[in-house]
Structure 1
Amino acid sequence: MSKIYTSILDTIGNTPVVRLARLSPPDMELYAKLEAFNPLGSVKDRLALGVIEAAERDGRLKPGQTVIEATSGNTGIGLAMVCARKGYPLVIVMAESFSVERRKLMRFLGARVVLTPAAEKGTGMVEKACELAAKHGWFWTRQFENQANADIHSRTTAREILAAFGGTGPDYFVTGAGTGGTLKGIARVLRAESAATRIVVSEPENTPMLASGLRQRCKADGTPAESHPLFRPHPMQGWAPDFIPQLTADALDTGLIDAIQPVGGAESLRLARELARQEGIFCGITGGATLAAALEVAKTAQKGSRILFMVPDTGERYLSTPLFDAIEQEMDAVEREISNSTPSCRFSAPASQPAAAAAAASEPPPDGARHFVRQAINDPEQPVVMFALEWCEFCWAVRRFLRDLGLPFRSVDLDSVAMQADGIGGDIRKVLHTLTGQRTIPQIFIGGAHIGGAVDLLDLHDRGELMTFLGKAGIQPAGDLALTARSYLPRWLAARSVA
C-alpha cells in the first residue's frame, strides 16, 4: 500500500489471507480471507465496482443516471462508495430489519435509502427496486443475477487466492452463498485450475434451501417469484435471503459445489466473538459462520489440510445486532475494581459509591417499558400478543402457526429498528423477566394471561386446551383447528421431542 492512488476505487481487492493460530485445530491449517480490508469494509466493494464498470462499458449505465439496488447493506455501502466517486446518484432499497449502522453509512456516503417492511423479506425489497427502476428509468444493478458480480471475483479474488497458496488452491475453500457472486466467481476458477480443492458452501441450519434440492421459482427475468418454502429468519445478515439467487443456482447447476455445510446462528455469533478475542480479527456474524463451517470441515479432513474460509466484512456494522448483546458501554464490576485499585481519577467515592453502584445495577427498568408491556398484554383490541425477535426460528414458528390458525395477533419484535431506540427493547425484556420469571423469547400472552414460550403455546393447542384461553379472551380462530401445532417447530427440535 506504499504508493499514491488516483482513486479510492483503485484500493479495492488484494485483501490479506491470514493463518489462524489459537482457533485452528491441531494438525490443520486454517486461513481467513479478510475482506474487511477493502476500503468500505466488505467483500461487496468488489461486486459494486464490477457491476458499475461492466454497465459503463456496455452502455447500459449513462452518465449521471441514477443507480438503484436492493440490498441487506454491504452491497449498498460498496455501491455508495463507487457511485460517490463516479458521480452517479444512488437509491438503495433495504428491509427495515437490517442493522441501523448500514443505512447510516449509506446515507453518509450520499445515497438515498428506501425501507421496506421486514415482513416482506428480501423478495419484497427486490420487487420494490424493480418497480422504482421501471418507473423512473434508473439503472438497476441486479446483484443477484448480474454475471458481472461473479466475473470480478474470477478476475480478482480467485487470482489472489491462487497466488497466496503458491499457484494452487487450498485443500478446502469455504464460503457462504450470499448473492452467489463470490461463490460462482471463485469456484469456477478453482475448479479449472486447482481441481483438488473442495468447494464447501455454508448456509444457516434452520434455512436449508440449498441442501433441500428444492428449486427456486423465478420470473422470466431471473428474479424470485416468491419466497423459498424453506426460508426461516436467521441472524446472518447478507446470507440466505428468502430466495436462492440465480448466481447461486448457477453454481449448483454446474457442479461447482462439493458440499453444503449447515451452521447454527448461536455458534456463528459465538465464533465471531472468538475470532476477535483469540485471533484479533474483527468481523461480522457471517465471518463467525464461515469459521463454524470450516471447523466442521476440519473434523473429517486429512491431517495437514489447508482450509481457507471467507470473512466477508467488519464487525462495526453490527453494533445494534445480537452480536453485541453482551457488550456493555459502562464499566462492569471487574473494570471498576481495576479503576479503584489506584487512588486517582476514580468514578466511585470510597465508602458509599459501591453500594450505590450495586443499587443502580438492580434498579427496575424505566416506567416507560413497564407501561408498554402492561398496555400491550391488556389491550382488548389485540388480546394475543407475542414479545419476539425478528430472526428467531421459534418466533417464526409461532407466527406461522397463528396465521394458519386464523388468529389475529400482535408481534412486538424486540430487536427491530423501532425497539432499538433508547434501548427500550432491552428494558422490555427486563420487565418480562420480572413479570414471568423467564428470560427466554418469545413470551406469549392471551387476554392478559401469560401462556409461556413457543413450545408452551403449541403444546397447549395439541392438548386441546388453547380454546379455553381464546374463549376467555373472546376470540375465535378462523383457520383449521385440526392442525398439529408441534409440526411448526424447527425440524431438529420436533425430532428430538418425538424421540
Structure 2
Amino acid sequence: MGRRFDNILGTVGHTPVVRINRLAPPGIELFVKLESFNPMGSVKDRLALGVIEDAERRGQLKPGQTVIEATSGNTGIGLAMVCAQKGYPLVVTMAENFSVERRRMMRFLGARVVLTPAAEKGSGMLAKAVELAARHGWFLCRQFENEANAEFHSRTTAVEIVEDFADVGLDCWVTGFGTGGTLKGVARVLREQSPATRIVVCEPDNSPLLGSGLRQSRAADGAPAASHPSFRPHLMQGWTPDFISGLTEEAVNEGLIDEVVPVSGDEALRLSRELACREGIFCGITAGATLAGGLQLARRSPPGTRILCMLPDTGERYLSTPLFADIETEMTAQELEISRSTPGYRFDRPSSAPPAPAAPAVAATPGAEAFLTELLSDPDRPVVMFALEWCEFCWSLRKLFARLALDYHSVDLDSARFQRNSEGTAIRAALSDRTGCVTIPQVFIGGDFVGGCTEVFDEFGSGRLQQRLQDAGVAFDSSVSVDPYSLLPAWLHPRS
C-alpha cells in the first residue's frame, strides 16, 4: 500500500487479514484473509502469475505463444491480467453454467472464451483445453497439477500468514480446495513453520470428494480419467470440480490435512450475505462457504482459539448467480415507504425539480448543411449514425450493429470534436430540418433516412433493414437472429 510498482503484476499478494467481530462466537478469535484485494479480485491472481513466470523461466512459454487453460472463471481472469501485461494471447475453456460476469471480464481483458456443455462438467472443459493445446501448439497451464501453482503459494500466501501471526500463533487454518494449489502450498509451510496449526479443508456437503475416501481415477499423465463417483453439482463455483486435482491428492497423500468439514450450499449463501451486511466484507459464495466451515470449527473450539479462514474472491462476479437472487433491482416496499415519507422527487408525483434553464437556440448553419450533404453522399460511408456518446438508445443500436458485424460511421454530436462553436448543435438542427425528427439517434443507409433506435429495430425485425443494407452493397452477417429490443437496458425496455 502506498508503494510504486512497475506494472500491475507487482500488486499481486500481500492481502490483508481482518478480524471477524459480529459473526464470531464469544471467546473465539476469528480472522479472514481477503484475497479479493488482489488486483483482479481473487486468490487465483497468485496462481496465474506463478504459473506463467515459471513457464517463462523454464523456456516452456515462448514470446507471443498462446496460453490456454480450463477455468471456472477466477483463474481465467487472473491469467487474462497476466497475459495482457506480458503480451500473450489467451484462450480459456469454461463450462457454460459458470457466471456470465466471469466470461465478460475475461473477454474485456482480451481473452477468448470457449464454452463447453454444462453436462460435461469440469472434466469436459479440461479435456477441451488439452485438445486445443495439442492441436494448436499452445501452452497449457495445467493448474490442477502444476507444482508452480503450489510453489507460488508457498513463497507468498504462506509466508504472509506466518508473518501475520508470528507474535500470537495460529490454531487453525481453514480453506476450500479447487486446484489444490493454495491448500498444498500453504499447508506444507505451516507444517514446517507453525506445526501446531491445524489444517482444515472444506467441501460441499452434497459433493464429498475428500470425505468419501474414494480415490480419483487417473490417466497415465496424471490427469483425471473420469468424474469422481461422489461428485454432485453444487453452488460453490471454484470449489471442488468433478475430480480431485493432482495437487489436492498430493496434499492428502503427504498428510497435510487434519480435518475435512462439509458445508451446505444454503450456509454458504447465507454467510456470504452475512459477511456483507454485518461485517462490511463483500465476497463470493466460496468465501461464505469457507467461513461456514470456520464457524463450525469455532463453535466446538475452546475459548481463545485463533482461526484464519481464506476468503477467495469478491462478490461482483456472482451477480447472475443464486447469491443475488433475492436482491431487488427495483425499489422494495420499505424503500417505497421511505420515498413517500417526503413529498418531492417521486415517481408517483410530478417532477419537483426546478426546470433546467433553456439552452440558447442554435440554428442550422451553412457549414452544418454542407457537412451533412457531403457525409450522406459519401459512397465509402454508406451507413451513418448520428449519436450522443452517453445515450442508452445509441448504445443499444451499437450493440445491434456489432452483432451484425456492420461497418458504420458514428457522428457523436456531443463529443469534443463537435463542441467548438456549438458545431454539434448546429448539425443536429440541420438534421432536424432534413428529417423532421428532433430525437437522437438518427440512422441513414445509402443517404436515405431510416429512423431512430426503435425504427431501426422494427426494420430489422421485419427484414427491411437487411434489404436496405443489401441494396446499398453493405456487408453484414445475415445469419444473426436476435430480438433487438432485448439489447435495450431494462429501464428503457418498452415491452417489459
TM-score of the superposed pair, with normalisation by structure 1: 0.70
1:324-343 mapped onto 2 (5 Å cutoff) = 324-343=324-343
Say whether the 8 Å CA contact 1:169–1:190 is kept in structure 2. no
1-structure distance, mates of 2:209, 2:169: 28
Equivalence for 1:198: 198
Q: Post-superposition shift, 1:222?
A: 1.4
Does 2:44 align with 1:44?
yes
The aligned amino acid for 2:121 is: K
SS in 1 for 2:47: helix
The aligned amino acid for 1:29 is: E
Equivalence for 1:346: 346
2-structure distance, mates of 1:159, 1:347: 55
1:129-278 mapped onto 2 (5 Å cutoff) = 129-166=129-166, 169-278=169-278
1-structure distance, mates of 2:124, 2:284: 24
Q: Post-superposition shift, 1:84?
A: 0.1
SS in 1 for 2:210: helix
SS in 2 for 1:69: strand
Say whether the 8 Å CA contact 1:168–1:194 is kept in structure 2. no
1-structure distance, mates of 2:167, 2:135: 48
Does 2:95 align with 1:80?
no
Q: Post-superposition shift, 1:228?
A: 0.2
2-structure distance, mates of 1:205, 1:62: 42
1-structure distance, mates of 2:63, 2:290: 39
1-structure distance, mates of 2:53, 2:277: 38
2-structure distance, mates of 1:299, 1:278: 19
Equivalence for 2:107: 107
1-structure distance, mates of 2:178, 2:31: 20
* Cα root mean square deviation, aligned: 1.5
1:290-439 mapped onto 2 (5 Å cutoff) = 290-349=290-349
5+ long unaligned stretches in structure 1:
351-417, 424-499
What percentage of residue pairs aligned between the two structures are identical?
69
The aligned amino acid for 2:115 is: L
Equivalence for 2:64: 64
Q: Relative to structure 1, is the Cα distance of residues 422 and 169 closer, same or farther in structure 2, using a 3 angstrom cutoff?
A: farther
Q: Relative to structure 1, is the Cα distance of residues 159 and 422 closer, same or farther in structure 2, using a 3 angstrom cutoff?
A: farther
Does 2:30 align with 1:14?
no
SS in 2 for 1:232: coil
Q: Post-superposition shift, 1:302?
A: 1.7
The aligned amino acid for 2:336 is: R
Equivalence for 2:377: none
Q: Post-superposition shift, 1:296?
A: 0.5
The aligned amino acid for 1:75 is: T
2-structure distance, mates of 1:98, 1:169: 38
The aligned amino acid for 1:317 is: R
2-structure distance, mates of 1:167, 1:129: 45
Q: Relative to structure 1, is the Cα distance of residues 178 and 168 closer, same or farther in structure 2, using a 3 angstrom cutoff?
A: farther
Offset from partner CA, 1:193-228 (integer Å, 9 cap, x none): 111000000000001110111110011111110000
Q: Post-superposition shift, 1:341?
A: 1.0
The aligned amino acid for 2:79 is: L
Offset from partner CA, 1:235-265 (integer Å, 9 cap, x none): 1000010000000000000000000000000
Offset from partner CA, 1:156-215 (integer Å, 9 cap, x none): 000100111126751000000111000000000000011100000000000111011111
Query: Which portions of structure 1, spanning 4 or more consecutive aligned residues, are displaced by more than 4 angstroms?
Result: none
2-structure distance, mates of 1:22, 1:301: 18
Equivalence for 1:458: none
SS in 2 for 1:215: coil
Equivalence for 2:281: 281
Q: Relative to structure 1, is the Cα distance of residues 323 and 70 closer, same or farther in structure 2, using a 3 angstrom cutoff?
A: same
SS in 1 for 2:183: helix
2-structure distance, mates of 1:314, 1:123: 25
The aligned amino acid for 1:242 is: D
Q: Post-superposition shift, 1:422?
A: 6.8
1-structure distance, mates of 2:486, 2:11: 37
The aligned amino acid for 2:251 is: A
1-structure distance, mates of 2:50, 2:168: 25
The aligned amino acid for 2:25 is: P
Offset from partner CA, 1:89-119 (integer Å, 9 cap, x none): 0000000000000000000000000000000
1-structure distance, mates of 2:348, 2:148: 59
SS in 2 for 1:149: helix
Does 2:117 align with 1:123?
no
Equivalence for 1:30: 30
1-structure distance, mates of 2:77, 2:233: 23
SS in 1 for 2:261: strand
SS in 2 for 1:19: strand
1-structure distance, mates of 2:141, 2:37: 24
SS in 2 for 1:307: strand
Offset from partner CA, 1:314-360 (integer Å, 9 cap, x none): 0000000000000011001110111111122111239xxxxxxxxxx
1-structure distance, mates of 2:348, 2:14: 49
SS in 2 for 1:132: helix
Say whether the 8 Å CA contact 1:203–1:240 is kept in structure 2. yes
TM-score of the superposed pair, with normalisation by structure 2: 0.70
2-structure distance, mates of 1:301, 1:220: 43
Say whether the 8 Å CA contact 1:102–1:317 is kept in structure 2. yes
Q: Relative to structure 1, is the Cα distance of residues 125 and 167 closer, same or farther in structure 2, using a 3 angstrom cutoff?
A: farther
Equivalence for 1:408: none
1-structure distance, mates of 2:6, 2:339: 47
The aligned amino acid for 2:162 is: L
SS in 2 for 1:210: coil
1-structure distance, mates of 2:67, 2:127: 16
2-structure distance, mates of 1:348, 1:161: 55
The aligned amino acid for 2:109 is: L
SS in 2 for 1:150: helix
Offset from partner CA, 1:374-410 (integer Å, 9 cap, x none): xxxxxxxxxxxxxxxxxxxxxxxxxxxxxxxxxxxxx
1-structure distance, mates of 2:249, 2:169: 23
2-structure distance, mates of 1:120, 1:156: 34
Q: Relative to structure 1, is the Cα distance of residues 131 and 167 closer, same or farther in structure 2, using a 3 angstrom cutoff?
A: farther
Say whether the 8 Å CA contact 1:46–1:153 is kept in structure 2. yes
1-structure distance, mates of 2:111, 2:199: 36
SS in 1 for 2:223: coil
User: How many matched pairs?
Assistant: 354
Does 2:101 align with 1:89?
no
Q: Relative to structure 1, is the Cα distance of residues 329 and 174 closer, same or farther in structure 2, using a 3 angstrom cutoff?
A: same
The aligned amino acid for 2:69 is: E
Offset from partner CA, 1:48-98 (integer Å, 9 cap, x none): 000000000000000110000000000000000000000000000000000
SS in 2 for 1:209: coil
The aligned amino acid for 1:315 is: G
Q: Relative to structure 1, is the Cα distance of residues 167 and 248 closer, same or farther in structure 2, using a 3 angstrom cutoff?
A: farther
